[in-house]
């Protein structure tokens, strides 16, 4: 490289002279130099230990030179704002690396403090007005130098900047326009330090850190890095790869920096931690194709990202030519530990002309915990996040904020595409070779669009593997121009698994084909379990469109989705592996193409078991299900009711029996459907086969012969579609339904599908059979659980006897204070009415009922009407007061008596005891109890499979102490009892007018850990002690139902941790080693 000036011989001699004078006397402790001039003058004598130039002033340069020459730790104080302008051009004596000319070389531990005495002002150190910084001409002028050079020539040094501004530096042929830290150096900034307006021809416009030595580090605290520029790392570049503390940036602003290749704000390799950092308005502005990372670029080519941790930070308004408008992470191959972790961090309003508007990660592990990825855009794919590269993996989870609140990870309001060509992944793009696991994550309101190409995945586009647990995918859209739009919520060509959560309100729009409003599957594998798909819309496949591939839907709800043509709920073509189990397809709408609930075409093969198809509608054929002439669907114990179509309201298939495959169904209710076209056949139109034990309301349109075991022409007496327990809504069977107990279990068990596979549960998970045989349809009616009604009589004062009539259980009297309540038990579900007769001298004040919302109180007629559900307990209290006149005698049958002494004071107010159960795992399970509570001496409670436990309200006759004893069923453990007011199950202390709540928690033995010997829900050292106590014959204190060590539980000995068939001290040692890691 050509140098403009020529070094003079005198300059070389001077340089050698100053090097010889570098030896200096020892310094003890921290030596402080106070600068008293802004002139840029060298020290006059490095051997005297004093900061003095030729005019006996202490300049900044002189102080740095003295600190370099001495041994120890030094502080340079700058009492004035300055600016302290560096005017000594290095062509005077060459770039000396001892701070004689040009930049300030730091070869020792030096702290520079801006001690201006003015709040909010810094001491400014800048390159003087001696020539413009021109890095594009490939010529290094003598006036083009950086501000600080730390640890030159292998010296061990540390620079600390406090309340200092470093600006105007120029590294025309190197790194670090403002500050360069070599391999053996460290840099710390704090308390308002600013690095601004510096330029570098290579890396680190503001700062370049290359520390690799033991103990070296870069620490930026409460600083600002702004308006710098470089090729890589416009604001700063840091490559901490040594065993030192690495790179730490805290409470710092990195803004308005520019890189011409990558890392507009930062270019990082190695390990770095950012906490409460704002990276905003940085740019990668490349004449050619940039390498991206508008805010942060971590890793590139051979300098890979080792670990990046970003906590409670903001990455916003950055732009990149290249991948990653906000952040780009490049790693060789992801490991189990994430390469980059973003916790409680916002990545928002960033943009890329390529991929990954918010984040682009290649071959890296990415962890998002409580992160917000919002309003980012990419011109190609992955508006929010783009993942690619073999071995890449990502986890998306919630995190806890400082107040202990759970913060979900959200990918919201991002966009991809917009121009011509194909585009994918408005919110998230999962490329080949990647694995993504998302829990407690929201993917909302993202968009992918194109003017003429195919678009896929408004919310998510998955090529590889995506597993979502409790993921909410809502209100995303894929907007096609003249090309097709696929998957408003998710487009999948890999493996997609969703458990729990929702796919809601997504859509595909445009002038081309619009497929899969919620989910689009193109030959991949999709599993949906406990998922709700609702309110999605498309041309075909309102909720879900699958072109081949494996599609499994289990315990899911597909509800109120819309297709303009075919498949309002589900559209499945050309594959042989559609399986729907335990699910409800309801309220969906399709156009002329048909298949309001489900559409099958292209030789598809599918099966439905224990599922409900209800309330769907098609403007064409097949309100419930529409199948083509080459398609086959097997159905077992399915309820198809309340669907509407032009023809084939329930089922539709072509009439050509020669071309049609067999479509057997068994245990199916096909009734109460409707057709809008005359002769359209309400329940069944076309060729279907019966495998027996079906109930078909109208058989006129079914061209196949029914079996002699089928029922036709009868009303199945279905209840409304509602929650009857279990994860999905069902139609319950009425008490007199002809579908009940219709499928025999002996001599041969017919509770099987058409291929002989047993169907041991109904859609809710209730075991089959409940009665003498299995019920037809998706719902197995349970033996009616009896309920109870308690009527309580209260008076404001006095005493009396009061008469009640009950329908249908007859008349009875209640007396205050002797017999103030009556509990009517063993009541089957139904409607009951209780009325109090008018008693002379008394008026009714109020009627108050608890335990059920379905109670209608009519105080004018002194009556209540109770719609009692199975196993429910209701209590109603009638309160009266004297209407005037008479003494305090018996109030029954005619008012007051003839005076006499008044009775003792009013009886104590009655109390209430509320009992409930909770189970883990949740599911329909019944538990029996005994108690000495009047009216509740023997009862059962069951969990209905939801988060709400069944409750029983008991009204005690009087205050006192009561006990409740649970009967723990086989396979369960009583894990605990929680009673309010300090009571226990053995001693429920009830005061006057009090209410005591007791909840019994049962845990299935099957879900306990193998090392949880004492059944307390966790494996701890207490289990080691329990196992040892058992081995030496001491009694164990374990909850009811907990197995004893050595007991056989499903073929495994309880406590046999080594699996050798014996329970001995080796198992205790094994558990202890496991707990100790």
Interval 494-524: pLDDT, tens: 999 999 999 999 999 999 999 999 999 999 9
Helix (H), strand (E), coil (C) string for 719-766? EEEECCCCCCCEEEECCCCCCCCCECCCCCCCCECCCCCECCECCCCC
503, 522, 541: which is the final residue of a domain?
Answer: 522
The token pair at 376 is 């980012």
Does residue 45 lie in a domain region?
no
CB 748 within 8 A of CB 731: no
More confident residue, 96 or 113: 113
CB 157 within 8 A of CB 189: no
More confident residue, 1000 or 566: 566
Residue-level pLDDT at 860: 84
**Inter-axis angle of helices 1065-1075 and 1021-1031, nearest 10:** 170
Give the confidence band of 609 by pLDDT, cuts at 50, 70, 90: very high
Total number of domains in the chain: 5
Integer Cα distance of 823 and 953 in angstroms: 11
Does residue 709 lie in a domain region?
yes
HSE of 130, CA atoms in CB hemisphere, 13 A:
20
Top-confidence range, 270-279, 280-289, 1020-1029, 1057-1066: 270-279
Integer Cα distance of 607 and 666 in angstroms: 12
Per-residue b/e over 916-942, b at no fewer than 16 CB within 10 Å? bbbbbeebbbebebebebbbbeebebb
For 421, the domain range is: 413-522
CB 218 within 8 A of CB 209: yes
Lowest mean pLDDT among 90-99, 308-317, 1001-1010: 90-99
* DSSP label at residue 623: S
Does residue 735 lie in a domain region?
yes
Residue 15 has pLDDT above 60, yes or no: no
Residue 11 has pLDDT above 60, yes or no: no
* Residue 503 main-chain phi, psi, to 5 deg: -120, 100
Residue-level pLDDT at 955: 54
Cis omega (within 30 of 0) for bond into 505: no
Mean pLDDT to the nearest integer, 918-945? 74
Query: Would you give the distance in Å from CA 720 to the centre of its chain?
Result: 33
Residue with tokens 């071309």: 659
Lowest mean pLDDT among 16-30, 462-476, 951-965: 16-30
Name beta bridge partners: 416: 378, 448
Does residue 444 lie in a domain region?
yes
HSE of 173, CA atoms in CB hemisphere, 13 A:
12
Does residue 769 lie in a domain region?
yes
For residues 725 and 761, state if they share a domain: yes
Helix H or strand E encompassing 1023: helix 1021-1031
The CA radius of gyration of the chain, in Å to the nearest whole number, is 40
For residues 693 and 634, state if they share a domain: yes
Give the confidence band of 1017 by pLDDT, cuts at 50, 70, 90: confident
Residue 69 has pLDDT above 60, yes or no: yes
CATH number at 808 reads 2.60.40.10
DSSP secondary structure string, 958-987?
Answer: SSEEE-EEEEPPTTEEEEEEEEGGG-BTTB
Give the confidence band of 662 by pLDDT, cuts at 50, 70, 90: low
Integer Cα distance of 622 and 688 in angstroms: 13
Helix (H), strand (E), coil (C) string for 384-439? CEEEECCCCEEEEECEECCCCCEECEEEECCEEECCCCCEECCCEEECCCCEEEEE
CB 485 within 8 A of CB 457: no
Mean pLDDT to the nearest integer, 409-430? 96
Cis omega (within 30 of 0) for bond into 747: yes
Integer Cα distance of 770 and 760 in angstroms: 10
Residue-level pLDDT at 1063: 79
Q: Is 62 helix (H, G, I), strand (E, B) or coil?
A: helix
* Residue 109 main-chain phi, psi, to 5 deg: -90, 105
Integer Cα distance of 619 and 564 in angstroms: 10
Comparing CA positions, the residue from 867, 559, 897 lying closest to residue 728 is: 559
For residues 744 and 832, state if they share a domain: no
Residue 279 has pLDDT above 50, yes or no: yes
Residue-level pLDDT at 193: 96
Integer Cα distance of 521 and 456 in angstroms: 10
For residues 919 and 843, state if they share a domain: no
Residue 304 has pLDDT above 70, yes or no: yes
Residue-level pLDDT at 599: 97
Mean pLDDT to the nearest integer, 30-49? 94
CATH number at 939 reads 2.60.40
Residue 16 has pLDDT above 50, yes or no: no
Does residue 304 lie in a domain region?
no
**CB-based contacts of 698-701 (< 8 A; 24+ apart in sequence):** 698/671, 701/647, 701/648
Residue with tokens 């209590």: 875
Residue-level pLDDT at 764: 95
Comparing CA positions, the residue from 597, 591, 590, 606 lying closest to residue 548 is: 606
Residue-level pLDDT at 57: 96
For residues 461 and 603, state if they share a domain: no
Tell me the pLDDT tens digit for each residue of 724-752. 999 999 999 998 899 999 999 988 889 99
Residue 412 has pLDDT above 60, yes or no: yes
Cis omega (within 30 of 0) for bond into 810: no
Give the confidence band of 1051 by pLDDT, cuts at 50, 70, 90: low
Does residue 600 lie in a domain region?
yes
For residues 718 and 793, state if they share a domain: no
Helix H or strand E encompassing 951: strand 951-955
Give the confidence band of 567 by pLDDT, cuts at 50, 70, 90: very high
More confident residue, 1019 or 682: 682
Comparing CA positions, the residue from 461, 453, 459 lying closest to residue 432 is: 461
Give the confidence band of 689 by pLDDT, cuts at 50, 70, 90: confident
CB 609 within 8 A of CB 639: no
For residues 760 and 799, state if they share a domain: no
Integer Cα distance of 825 and 442 in angstroms: 48
Q: CA angle, 553 as apex, 627 and 663 as ends, to 5°?
A: 30
DSSP secondary structure string, 478-514?
Answer: EEESSS-EE-SSEEESSEEEEESSEEES-EEEESS-E
Integer Cα distance of 145 and 180 in angstroms: 11
Q: Is the sign of the CA dihedral 741, 744, 746, 752 positive or negative?
A: negative
Helix H or strand E encompassing 19: helix 9-20
For residues 615 and 693, state if they share a domain: yes
Q: Is the sign of the CA dihedral 1058, 1060, 1063, 1064 positive or negative?
A: negative
* Residue 713 main-chain phi, psi, to 5 deg: 75, 15
Residue-level pLDDT at 910: 67
DSSP secondary structure string, 911-939?
Answer: -EEEEEEEEES-SEEEEEEEE-STT-SEE
pTM of this prediction? 0.73
Does residue 954 lie in a domain region?
yes
Residue with tokens 């309920």: 787
Lowest mean pLDDT among 118-127, 269-278, 763-772, 881-890: 881-890
Question: For residue 124, what are the CA distances in angstroms to 114, 164, 610?
Answer: 8, 6, 76
Residue-level pLDDT at 725: 92
Residue-level pLDDT at 20: 31
* DSSP label at residue 152: G
For residues 839 and 924, state if they share a domain: no
Residue-level pLDDT at 116: 77
For residues 590 and 696, state if they share a domain: yes
For residues 727 and 854, state if they share a domain: no
Q: CA angle, 486 as apex, 482 and 489 as ends, to 5°?
A: 130
Q: Is 1002 helix (H, G, I), strand (E, B) or coil?
A: strand
The token pair at 889 is 């005698």
Helices (H) then strands (E): counts for the chain: 4, 109
Average pLDDT, the chain: 86
Residue 14 has pLDDT above 70, yes or no: no
Residue-level pLDDT at 1050: 67
Tell me the pLDDT tens digit for each residue of 773-797. 999 999 999 876 678 888 998 888 8
Comparing CA positions, the residue from 279, 253, 103 lying closest to residue 176 is: 103
Query: Would you give the distance in Å from CA 883 to the centre of its chain?
Result: 61
Integer Cα distance of 499 and 944 in angstroms: 20
Tell me the pLDDT tens digit for each residue of 623-643. 999 998 888 899 999 999 999
Q: Is 529 helix (H, G, I), strand (E, B) or coil?
A: strand
Percent of the chain past pLDDT 90, that is, above it, reads: 55
For residues 600 and 495, state if they share a domain: no
465, 491, 522: which is the final residue of a domain?
Answer: 522
Residue 535 has pLDDT above 60, yes or no: yes
Comparing CA positions, the residue from 692, 684, 687 lying closest to residue 708 is: 692
């Amino acid at each position: 490289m050509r140098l403009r000036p020529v070094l003079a011989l005198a300059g070389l001699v001077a340089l050698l002279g100053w090097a010889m004078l570098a030896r200096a006397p020892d310094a003890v402790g921290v030596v402080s130099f106070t600068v008293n001039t802004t002139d840029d003058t060298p020290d006059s004598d490095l051997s005297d230990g004093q900061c003095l130039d030729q005019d006996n002033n202490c300049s900044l340069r002189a102080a740095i030179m003295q600190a370099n020459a001495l041994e120890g730790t030094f502080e340079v104080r700058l009492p004035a704002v300055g600016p302290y302008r560096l005017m000594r051009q290095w062509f005077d004596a060459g770039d000396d690396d001892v701070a004689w000319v040009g930049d300030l070389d730091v070869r020792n531990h030096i702290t520079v403090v801006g001690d201006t005495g003015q709040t909010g002002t810094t001491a400014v150190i800048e390159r003087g007005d001696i020539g413009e910084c021109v890095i594009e001409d490939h010529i290094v002028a003598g006036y083009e130098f950086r501000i600080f050079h730390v640890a030159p020539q292998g010296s061990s040094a540390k620079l600390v900047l406090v309340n200092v501004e470093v600006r105007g530096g120029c590294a025309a042929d190197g790194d670090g326009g403002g500050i360069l830290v070599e391999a053996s150096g460290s840099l710390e900034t704090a308390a308002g330090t600013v690095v601004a307006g510096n330029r570098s021809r290579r890396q680190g416009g503001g700062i370049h850190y290359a520390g690799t030595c033991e103990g070296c580090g870069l620490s930026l605290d409460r600083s600002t890095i702004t308006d710098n520029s470089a090729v890589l790392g416009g604001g700063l570049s840091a490559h901490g790869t040594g065993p030192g503390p690495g790179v730490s940036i805290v409470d710092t602003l990195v803004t308005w920096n520019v890189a011409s290749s990558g890392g507009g704000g930062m270019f990082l390799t190695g390990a770095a931690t950012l906490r409460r950092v704002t990276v905003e308005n940085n740019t990668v502005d490349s004449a050619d194709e940039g390498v991206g990372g508008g805010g942060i670029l971590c890793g590139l080519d051979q300098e890979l990202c080792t670990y990046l941790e970003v906590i409670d930070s903001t990455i916003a308004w950055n732009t990149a030519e290249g991948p990653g408008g906000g952040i780009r992470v490049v790693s060789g191959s992801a490991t189990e530990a994430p390469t980059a972790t973003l916790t409680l961090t916002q990545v928002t309003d960033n943009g890329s002309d390529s991929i990954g508007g918010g984040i682009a990660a290649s071959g890296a592990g990415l962890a998002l915990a409580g992160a917000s990825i919002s309003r980012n855009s990419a011109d190609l794919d992955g508006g929010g996040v783009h993942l690619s590269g073999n071995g890449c993996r990502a986890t998306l989870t919630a995190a806890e904020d400082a107040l202990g609140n759970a913060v979900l990870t959200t990918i919201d309001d991002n966009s991809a595409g917009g121009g011509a060509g194909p585009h994918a992944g408005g919110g998230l793009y999962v490329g080949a070779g990647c694995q993504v696991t998302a829990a407690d994550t929201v993917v909302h309101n993202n968009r992918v669009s194109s003017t003429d190409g195919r678009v896929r995945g408004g919310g998510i586009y998955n090529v590889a593997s995506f597993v979502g647990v409790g993921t909410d995918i809502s209100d995303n859209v894929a907007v096609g121009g003249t090309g097709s739009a696929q998957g408003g919520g998710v487009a999948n060509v890999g493996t997609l698994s969703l458990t729990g959560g929702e796919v809601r309100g997504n859509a595909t729009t445009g002038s081309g084909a619009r497929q899969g409003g919620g989910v689009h599957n193109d030959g991949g594998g999709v599993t949906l379990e406990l998922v709700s798909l609702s309110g999605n819309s498309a041309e075909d496949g309102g909720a879900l469109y699958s072109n081949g591939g494996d599609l499994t839907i289990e315990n899911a709800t597909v509800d109120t989705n819309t297709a303009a043509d075919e498949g309002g709920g589900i559209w499945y073509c050309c594959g042989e592996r559609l399986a729907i189990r335990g699910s409800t397809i309801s309220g969906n709408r399709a156009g002329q193409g048909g298949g309001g609930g489900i559409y099958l075409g292209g030789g598809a093969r599918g099966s439905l078991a224990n599922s409900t198809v209800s309330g769907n509608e098609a403007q064409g054929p097949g309100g419930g299900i529409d199948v083509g002439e080459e398609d086959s669907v097997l159905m077992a114990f399915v309820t198809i009711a309340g669907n509407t179509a032009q023809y084939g309201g329930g089922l539709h298939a072509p009439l050509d029996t020669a071309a049609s495959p067999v479509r057997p169904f068994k245990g199916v209710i096909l009734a109460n459907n409707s057709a809008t076209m005359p002769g359209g056949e309400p329940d069944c139109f076309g060729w279907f086969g019966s495998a027996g034990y079906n109930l078909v309301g109208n058989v006129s349109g079914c061209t196949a012969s029914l079996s002699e075991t089928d029922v036709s022409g009868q009303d199945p007496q279905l209840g409304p579609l509602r929650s009857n327990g279990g994860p999905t809504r069902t139609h319950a069977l009425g008490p007199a339904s002809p579908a009940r107990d219709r499928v025999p279990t002996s001599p041969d068990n017919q509770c099987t599908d058409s291929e002989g596979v047993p169907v041991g549960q109904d859609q809710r998970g209730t075991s089959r059979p409940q009665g003498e045989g299995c019920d037809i349809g998706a719902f197995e009616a349970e033996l009616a659980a009896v309920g109870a009604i308690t009527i309580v009589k209260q008076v404001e004062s006095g005493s009396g006897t009061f008469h009640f009539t009950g329908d249908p259980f007859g008349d009875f009297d209640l007396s205050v204070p002797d017999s103030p309540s009556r509990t009517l038990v063993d009541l089957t579900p139904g409607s009951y009415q209780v009325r109090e007769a008018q008693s002379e001298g008394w008026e009714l004040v109020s009627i108050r009922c608890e335990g059920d919302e379905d109670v209608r109180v009519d105080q004018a007629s002194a009556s209540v009407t109770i719609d009692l559900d199975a196993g429910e307990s209701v209590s109603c209290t009638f309160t009266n007061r004297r209407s005037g006149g008479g003494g305090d005698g018996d109030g029954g049958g005619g008012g007051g008596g003839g005076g006499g002494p008044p009775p003792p004071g009013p009886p104590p107010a009655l109390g209430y005891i509320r009992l409930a159960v909770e189970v883990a795992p949740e599911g329909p399970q019944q538990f029996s109890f005994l108690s000495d509570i009047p009216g509740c001496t023997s009862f059962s409670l069951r969990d209905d499979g939801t988060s709400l436990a069944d409750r029983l309200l008991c009204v005690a006759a009087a205050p006192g102490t009561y006990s409740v004893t649970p009967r723990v069923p086989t396979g369960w453990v009583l894990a605990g009892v929680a009673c309010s007011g300090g009571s226990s199950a053995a001693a429920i202390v009830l005061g006057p007018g009090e209410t005591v709540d007791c909840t019994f928690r049962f845990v299935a033995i099957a879900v306990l850990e193998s090392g949880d010997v004492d059944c307390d829900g966790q494996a701890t050292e207490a289990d080691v002690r329990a196992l040892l106590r058992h081995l030496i014959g001491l009694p164990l204190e374990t909850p009811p139902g907990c197995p004893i060590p050595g007991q056989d539980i499903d073929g495994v000995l309880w406590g046999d941790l080594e699996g050798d068939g014996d329970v001995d001290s080796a198992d205790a040692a094994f558990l202890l080693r496991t707990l100790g890691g």
